[in-house]
Chain A
Amino acid sequence: MMNFLFGPSADLEIHLDGSDDRKKGDVLLDSGKKEACPVYFDGEAVSGKVNIRLKQSKMEHYGIKVELLGLIEQFSDRSSQHEFLSMARELARPGILTQSCCLEFEFVSVEKPYESYFGVNVKLRYFIRVTVTKRLNDLVKEQDFLVHTLAQYPDTLGGIKMEVGIEDCLHIEFEYNKSKYHLKDAIIGKIYFLLVRIKVRHMEVQILRRELVGVGPNSMSDCETVAKFEIMDGAPVKGETIPIRLFLSGYELTPTMRDVNKRFSVRYFLNLVLIDEEDRRYFKQQEVTLFRRRPNRHRRIAQEQHQSQSADTAQPVHQQPDRSYFHHRSAHFGAKSPAAASGRTAANADGANTANNNDDNEAAVSPGNSDNSSSQSGESNDQ
């Protein structure tokens, strides 16, 4: 209203230093639009300029400040915004601006502990906010930027190997070459069919993203199928080995985030799904950790550091294949997308467990609660 009456007395524009050269990534704005924003890493300085273009001959203000903010927003509860990072600089003391001007700012070595994230129920965003405090309505301008967290794991870490099956019906052994993948990595693996008595129509590997927001009874969880990748067409016979090679860079993935500021976590699962000729689905989920690998120049330094300390710690892990069981849905899914349906329900049921055993690989759960208990009893019988 005020704006309508008086109009903004000045235009604010934030320009981040080097933003033309920097890698850009998409930020999902509240409006639903995507905007390309520069990417920063933990510890990097964030500097830039604020251009103030006056529309009137002068402008009185009660001070100009610039803030760097890290915010976690839960969509279910707009009010509960949580600032986990907040830094401020004063750019100008109260006074009168008589001409357009350009003010520089810099936040040196800002600790940016979390990755920017735009999820289903939560978002974590970083932005610069410039506020020109005025008597009636402050002038505010925000500029988002992205933060990528980097990580490094030794390549020698063991993969995932497991034998699963339904007694006298289907036994397979599957193997993923790693348990931790960087976002440009390829998942290499294979499926070995030990026993096939069902008529498999095809088999796919799905990447599931499970987002858990909040803790305790109020927690909300969502599971989304990020990728569906068919790895086998037709029915194999006993003894057949099917290769898996899934390039992750084709999908929109984020690093795994655990317990971000005690508010949410985002985890990824590889879901191996077999669909038989009667549309029954057999699936097995394995959690994998995704991380963002340091770009080359970072990596070289990190590797040197790592090598000096990890000569004896990083031993290859040869896991004995765990025995576990397929979770088997005989029900048909009707019009609903089967994957999404199974994913969401599974996540809900799983929610309570997750807090306790975060690192448990045994993540696949059968859909209903009643099913859950029965399948667990089945497991114990066999063990």
Chain B
Amino acid sequence: LFWQTRSQDMSGPVTEDQEKLLDEALSVVKLQAFQMKRCLDKAKLMDALKHASNMLGELRTSLLSPKSYYELYMLITDEMRHLELYLLDEFQKGRRVQDLYELVQYAGNIIPRLYLLITVGVVYIKCSEISRKDILKDLVEMCRGVQHPLRGLFLRNYLLQCTKNVLPDCVEEEQEDSGSVSDSIDFVLLNFSEMNKLWVRMQHQGHTRERDRREQERRELKLLVGTNLVRLSQLDTIDVQRYRSVVLPAVLEQVVNCRDALSQDYVMECIIQVFPDEYHLATLQDFLQACAELNPAVPVKNILISLINRLSAFATRDGSNGIPSDIPLFDFFSEQIAKIIENKPDLSPEDLVSLQAALTGLALGVYKDREDYVDKVLETTNSGLDKLGVEHINDHSNLSRELMKLLKLPIDLWNDALVLLRLRHYSPLLQRLDSPTKKSVSAYLLQNMLNNGTLVPSSEQVEQLLDLVRCLVADPGADAAAAAADATATNSLGGDPGDGSANGAGPGSEADNEDLAEEQSLLGRVVHLFSTGPDLLDEQFGVLKTARRILATGGGRRVKYTLPPVVFHSRQDSDDKWRKKCRKIFEFCHSTVCGLAKCELPNLALRLFVDGALVVDKIPFDQHDTRMTCFAAENHEPLRSQTVHAASKLLRKPDQSRAVAACAHLFWSGRPRELQGAEMRDLKKVGECLKRAGRLASQCMDAGLQAQLYTELVNYYLYFVLQSAGQSGSSGAACVRSVWSVSGVV
């Protein structure tokens, strides 16, 4: 399976040659295998061995690429199984072939000889464990004779495969010379170190021009080396103690001493993956020590990250006892990482960040309540980036991606933005990011808050939070304006004309606007989380005031989205019975809405006022007079006429007619401030409205609908006539006249 990853990089003619060579070899193997099996059927063991030897002789070739050699090897080892089964069968029947172990060693060529020796040796072991220890030792020693990397690797792999189920796995010898687990360890370790040496040596053969190809070929062979470690991990009697005192030191020594980057990278990773987490915990110091001694070309960070991730996962897994408290896991790693950063001046910023991200993951996974750990990591990251002279983090760069990952980690794992606010180094790190990424992290944070319903109970925290996500709150250019606005915050909202122009100056694309809308509505939704809880209404009010102050710096485009929630939110509070404050609150709402009105958002402001009025209606509040008085005459008048205008612009005639008729009420019961709360009862205007409505109704094509409209109109007229009955008679009479005229038409 492990060849499948291979790309088609073998150049054309070579591939062709390879195929031809391989085909030739395979056909020889098939023929010899056939003859071998025939001899076995006739119980001619010596002849069978001869054919087996011929077949194995094909493995002596130097012409095949690793891929083809592997294919050949697979076929041959498959056929060798027949021989093994035959021998096992014979031995079990008691027909032990004398001196077979010696006999196969007469073969003149070393490759067939050793393959045969392994096969026979394993049969001996399987039939009687008495001399198991010696045979294993002999086999692994004799394999030294093959120093050719490719052939040696495969030979030793064969050894490993064949001995798979026969390695002694007991603490004490059960029989004399049957061997114990320490013999197995010696066996595999020796095989491992020899294989690793061969594997490393591959790199140094042939022309330097083909370096890349060789590296590729070596990568394909790495599993052969790793199998040794897998075999060790399968020995049940290797306990932590033995692992720490025997296995790991030997493996690490071999790895460190070979000084080969590819090998070190792979083997370290392999160690992490194949041995249990408890073992890693017990040997952390040694492992990390070895990491520091690796070839500078080794991406140590990958190794560390992989280890950290495994341990974090282990600590949080169900059923595990967690990390023993006597192991200062975090300190180990942070020291080690500091050392690596120190020793590697050429470490890239993204590597640095991803290392720190892993460390953060560890801190979060294992020590969930240790905010200081995370803060410490963030601090080191920050200062590390400073040291590397990273000023601008380009969007879409790896560094940006890594940093984003790092920043999202605590959000995800804590699910509590308030803890984030306590970290002193989170914000500085966040602000390093380029705008789009920064926004995306901020939005992520807000979304997380929404998902978890994280309430923000104090105005300091609101301030901090909004500061943290300030990229969403305001344009970066508006910082100065925001500062200015802060100074005068309580009185006037920051909706200075400059914001309006910012709105106009940054027309932005449609997509931009959409993004903006999305971000801002998110922010708006978060405003609802600014809540102190039911009993702390003063504070709540303070919180909202703070929110408004800061949000107001956002300029027109944003305010549109962010302030309405403030208003709504504050209204919700007013449902409670704290009358004293009600006035204040409405004043607050009022000024907020006015701010909106000033920002050329009259429609919105209107809606809010109307909504506010509804709220006031519903609560038992004795100071109704405040409502709607807010419209000054100069506002009121155009507003009314605008409404009528808008009403007559509706699409369908009947709608137009109805809307315009409804507008008549505006001129009747409106209470501009100048009239000191009295209704304006502008009968003339009312009449105009109704007339216009009548005209519109007359243009209606559907007779039935028209009649309906007229009927409604008559209703309106009647209402106004009755209302105005007490007023001047003339106008009343005019009204009556019009009613009649209308009904005449009807």
Binding site for B on A (CB under 8 A): 186, 202, 227-237, 240-243, 245, 247, 249-250
Tell which of B105, B110, B144 touches A247, judged by Cβ atoms closer than 8 Å.
B105
Query: Is B147 an interface residue, CB under 8 A from the partner?
Result: yes
Query: Can you give 15 A-B contacts (C-beta < 8 A)?
Result: A202-B110, A230-B108, A230-B110, A232-B110, A232-B145, A233-B146, A233-B148, A233-B152, A234-B148, A237-B147, A241-B144, A242-B147, A243-B144, A247-B105, A249-B102
- State A85–B721 Cα separation when bound (angstroms): 166
Interface residues of B in 83-122 (CB under 8 A from A): 102, 105-106, 108-111, 113
Tell which of B111, B142, B147, B205 touches A245, judged by Cβ atoms closer than 8 Å.
B142
Report yes or no: A245 in contact with B105, Cβ–Cβ below 8 A.
Answer: yes
Tell which of B106, B110, B201 touches A233, judged by Cβ atoms closer than 8 Å.
B110
CB-CB nearest 3 A-B residue pairs? A234-B148, A250-B106, A234-B147
Report yes or no: A243 in contact with B142, Cβ–Cβ below 8 A.
Answer: yes
| A246 to chain B: closest residue by CB | B105
B102 cross-chain contacts in A, Cβ below 8 A: 186, 247, 249
Report yes or no: B147 in contact with A232, Cβ–Cβ below 8 A.
Answer: yes
- State A228–B110 Cα separation when bound (angstroms): 11
Q: Residue among A229, A233, A250 with the most chain B CB within 10 A?
A: A233
| B150 to chain A: closest residue by CB | A234
A227 cross-chain contacts in B, Cβ below 8 A: 108
Query: Is B210 an interface residue, CB under 8 A from the partner?
Result: no
| A247 CB → nearest B CB, Å | 6
| A341 CB → nearest B CB, Å | 19
B60 cross-chain contacts in A, Cβ below 8 A: 233
| B102 CB → nearest A CB, Å | 6
- State A186–B142 Cα separation when bound (angstroms): 14
| B60 CB → nearest A CB, Å | 7
Known pairs A234-B147, A234-B149. 13 more at Cβ < 8 A?
Answer: A202-B110, A227-B108, A228-B108, A229-B108, A233-B60, A233-B147, A233-B148, A235-B148, A242-B145, A242-B147, A243-B144, A243-B145, A250-B106
Report yes or no: A236 in contact with B105, Cβ–Cβ below 8 A.
Answer: no
- State A235–B201 Cα separation when bound (angstroms): 10
Q: Report if A242-B144 is in contact (Cβ < 8 Å); known contacts: A233-B60, A234-B151, A234-B152.
A: yes
| A243 CB → nearest B CB, Å | 6
Query: Is B141 an interface residue, CB under 8 A from the partner?
Result: yes
A243 cross-chain contacts in B, Cβ below 8 A: 141-142, 144-145
- State A127–B404 Cα separation when bound (angstroms): 99
| A360 CB → nearest B CB, Å | 29
B106 cross-chain contacts in A, Cβ below 8 A: 247, 250
Report yes or no: A236 in contact with B147, Cβ–Cβ below 8 A.
Answer: yes
- State A250–B60 Cα separation when bound (angstroms): 22
| A239 to chain B: closest residue by CB | B197
Q: Residue among A234, A236, A243, A247 with the most chain B CB within 10 A?
A: A234
- State A242–B142 Cα separation when bound (angstroms): 8
Report yes or no: B147 in contact with A240, Cβ–Cβ below 8 A.
Answer: yes
B142 cross-chain contacts in A, Cβ below 8 A: 243, 245
A186 cross-chain contacts in B, Cβ below 8 A: 102
| A229 to chain B: closest residue by CB | B108
Q: Report if A233-B145 is in contact (Cβ < 8 Å); known contacts: A245-B105, A247-B105.
A: yes
A235 cross-chain contacts in B, Cβ below 8 A: 147-148, 205
| B159 CB → nearest A CB, Å | 15
| B56 CB → nearest A CB, Å | 12
| B112 to chain A: closest residue by CB | A230
- State A242–B110 Cα separation when bound (angstroms): 12
A234 cross-chain contacts in B, Cβ below 8 A: 146-149, 151-152
B197 cross-chain contacts in A, Cβ below 8 A: 237
A247 cross-chain contacts in B, Cβ below 8 A: 102, 105-106
Interface residues of B in 40-67 (CB under 8 A from A): 60
- State A233–B146 Cα separation when bound (angstroms): 5
| B142 to chain A: closest residue by CB | A243
| A72 CB → nearest B CB, Å | 32
| B327 CB → nearest A CB, Å | 38
| B194 to chain A: closest residue by CB | A240
B201 cross-chain contacts in A, Cβ below 8 A: 237
- State A237–B197 Cα separation when bound (angstroms): 10
| A159 CB → nearest B CB, Å | 18
- State A243–B145 Cα separation when bound (angstroms): 6
- State A237–B147 Cα separation when bound (angstroms): 9
- State A249–B113 Cα separation when bound (angstroms): 16
B152 cross-chain contacts in A, Cβ below 8 A: 233-234
- State A229–B105 Cα separation when bound (angstroms): 10
Report yes or no: B141 in contact with A231, Cβ–Cβ below 8 A.
Answer: no
- State A128–B201 Cα separation when bound (angstroms): 64
B105 cross-chain contacts in A, Cβ below 8 A: 245, 247, 250
Q: Report if A240-B108 is in contact (Cβ < 8 Å); known contacts: A233-B60, A247-B102.
A: no
Report yes or no: A231 in contact with B147, Cβ–Cβ below 8 A.
Answer: no
A228 cross-chain contacts in B, Cβ below 8 A: 108
A241 cross-chain contacts in B, Cβ below 8 A: 144
- State A242–B205 Cα separation when bound (angstroms): 20
- State A74–B179 Cα separation when bound (angstroms): 57
| A199 to chain B: closest residue by CB | B205
- State A247–B149 Cα separation when bound (angstroms): 27
Q: Residue among B60, B146, B147, B152 with the most chain A CB within 10 A?
A: B147
| A113 CB → nearest B CB, Å | 32
- State A250–B105 Cα separation when bound (angstroms): 9
B113 cross-chain contacts in A, Cβ below 8 A: 230
